[in-house]
Amino acid sequence: MHSLTELLGLITEGKIEYPADHKPGMRVTKGGSMCANCEYWVEKGNLCNNKYWLQWHDGDAKIPAPADEYCCNWWHAK
């Protein structure tokens, strides 16, 4: 049996591959990862305060769709 520490040591980072139509921020189906369940979502104003989102989105924190229908690469669970 292996300890959790040993198993975590086996994890290596690999190449990230996205579908051809992938964008860093895009509409998603309801129920999975989405702005509405992300730690960076600011409900008042439907904003994202993630620094990478802001860099990609030209400093604009406004999410361009309802929070339960949009997600970006920088999503992180609340």
Question: Does residue 73 form part of some domain?
Answer: yes
Question: Does residue 71 form part of some domain?
Answer: yes
Question: Does residue 3 form part of some domain?
Answer: no
For 71, the domain range is: 32-78
Measured between alpha carbons, how far is residue 2 from residues 12, 13, 61 in Å? 17, 20, 44
10-residue block means of pLDDT along the chain (78 residues)? 72 80 92 95 98 95 97 94
Question: Does residue 18 form part of some domain?
Answer: no
| CA distance linking residue 69 with residue 34, whole number of Å | 6
Q: Give the count of domains, the chain.
A: 1
Q: Residue 1's pLDDT is what?
A: 67
Q: Residue 77's pLDDT is what?
A: 92
| CA distance linking residue 14 with residue 4, whole number of Å | 20
Question: Does residue 42 form part of some domain?
Answer: yes
Q: Residue 33's pLDDT is what?
A: 94
Q: Residue 55's pLDDT is what?
A: 95
Q: Residue 3's pLDDT is what?
A: 76
